[in-house]
Chains A and B, each alone.
Chain A
Amino acid sequence: MERFQRQIILPGVGTAGQNKLKACSVLVIGAGGLGCAVLPYLVAAGVGKIGIVDGDRVEESNLHRQVLYTESSIGVLKVDAAKQTLQQMNSTAQIVAIPEFLSEGNVESLIRSYDLIIDATDNLEVRYTLDKASSSFKKPLIYGSIFRFQGQVSVFNYKGGPSYSSLFPKEEKAVLNCEEAGVLGTTVGIIGMLQANEALKIILGIGEVLSGRLLIYNMLTNDQQIFELGGQSVAPSFNSRIEKVDLINPELAFAMKGILLDVREVGEKPEIPSGFCHKLPLSELESRLGELDKEREITLFCQAGGRAIKAGKLLKKAGFSNVKAIRGGARDILNLIKNEMSKTT
């Protein structure tokens, strides 16, 4: 225990705390920039068993931030290179190298025998898989992620606390990973260290765990902000997005084969001949949605565009995806019709 003396004498740690560390098992998913910061601190602190999951090999372009690896590690499996370095730091630690990528197929068998899970991945898909499994197995998930010079840290699924997917519901929108986005070693270093710090706090039972809260750290300004979770939009469906209705020029709308829909109220001028458009006043739209075909392209117009956009948002909320509004209004449509008529006569 001599090697741990300087942490054992801390209030809240003691021999009992050191024994908790020894008895604890932590699974680190990802041995990249975050993983390389998390791992040595857990091993050095005396965590008894550490699993490392990563199917990648070390590349030269990893070395500026993945500081567990050396030039001679290039081409070697990350988990093997990491294990070698970590075992030299603490020969009594049980280090389990798992040269796999986490997937729905292996997630349950991987996390089952560990007490704590650390999300050090750079992949949203994997993060959702991990979150779901750690939530159902009631394993705390320590999240860290970066975007350029900023990082996020939080603890999910901790003592019934919120999950990652309740903070960020799964959406079909792309987010860059760091290979495309660029990253400084110190950014992943600091964020990984914060994750390791949360892990030690959870194991030792000290301090305030970042559960139900999201920490954002800005490396360029040293600003740290903590946001309280709780009221976030829950539905992963269209409800949580801001519906946006694209505008198109009347000429284009007129040339399309879809439905041209007049959402003005009955009797508004100028009247558009009904052969050229359908009529469904905005005030009745919601109750008469069944009259519209979701498969067809729908272009909306009113007098100046305001109600057309409103109607478009309403349709999108109701599950119509192919909806546009005309830039302009009925007068533009009428002019186009007149032009068309004069051409044919």
Chain B
Amino acid sequence: MITVNYFGNIAEAAQSDSETLEYNTLSLAELLDLLDSKYAIGKFPFQVAVNRKIVSKQQILSLSDSDEIALLPPFAGG
């Protein structure tokens, strides 16, 4: 099971702060494609963290069970 945490306007688009996906293995690119088709996240600027470390969205990375992914958009309010 992979946990995805959403922040800022992406949490709003996903209508949730967090969800778990029933995958044992999945590549980062596949996950982002999947989330884009669910929530159209492609329209937001954001970075991706895997287990609290920010990684490149282009990195070829296979996610495994118990990984925690975070989608981090910039905030602008002040």
Q: Out of A33, A167, A218, which one reaches B47, CB within 8 Å?
A: A167
- Residues on B facing A (Cβ under 8 Å): 5, 7-9, 11-12, 17, 32-33, 36, 41-45, 47, 49, 52-59, 70, 72-78
| Chain B residues within 8 Å of A168, by CB | 45, 47, 74
A124 at the interface (CB under 8 A from B): yes
Residues of A within 8 Å of B, CB-based: how many?
A: 51
Quick check: A218 and B17 within 8 Å, CB to CB?
yes
State the 6 A-B residue pairs at the shortest beta-carbon distance, nearest first. A178-B77, A122-B78, A145-B75, A147-B75, A231-B55, A147-B8
Quick check: A173 and B76 within 8 Å, CB to CB?
no
A144 at the interface (CB under 8 A from B): yes
Quick check: B47 and A232 within 8 Å, CB to CB?
yes
- Residues on A facing B (Cβ under 8 Å): 30, 32-35, 120-124, 127, 144-148, 150-152, 167-169, 171, 173, 175-178, 181, 183, 188, 214, 216, 218, 221, 225-234, 239-244
Q: In this complex, what residue of B is CB-closest to A183? A: B77
A-B contact pairs, 25 of them (CB 8 A): A122-B76, A145-B75, A145-B78, A147-B73, A147-B75, A148-B77, A150-B8, A151-B75, A152-B74, A171-B45, A173-B43, A176-B9, A181-B77, A216-B7, A225-B52, A227-B52, A227-B54, A229-B54, A230-B53, A231-B55, A232-B54, A232-B56, A233-B58, A242-B32, A242-B33
Q: In this complex, what residue of B is CB-closest to A35? A: B78
Main secondary structure of the interface of B (DSSP, over half): mixed
| Chain B residues within 8 Å of A241, by CB | 42
A167-B47, A176-B9, A232-B47 are contacts. A147–B57 as well, Cβ < 8 Å?
no
Q: Measured between alpha carbons, how far is A227 from B77 in the docked complex, in Å?
A: 20
Q: Out of A214, A216, A239, which one reaches B58, CB within 8 Å?
A: A239
Q: In this complex, what residue of A is CB-closest to B74? A: A168
| Chain B residues within 8 Å of A151, by CB | 75
A173-B45, A225-B70, A232-B47 are contacts. A121–B78 as well, Cβ < 8 Å?
yes
| Chain A residues within 8 Å of B58, by CB | 233, 239-240
| Chain A residues within 8 Å of B7, by CB | 147, 150, 216
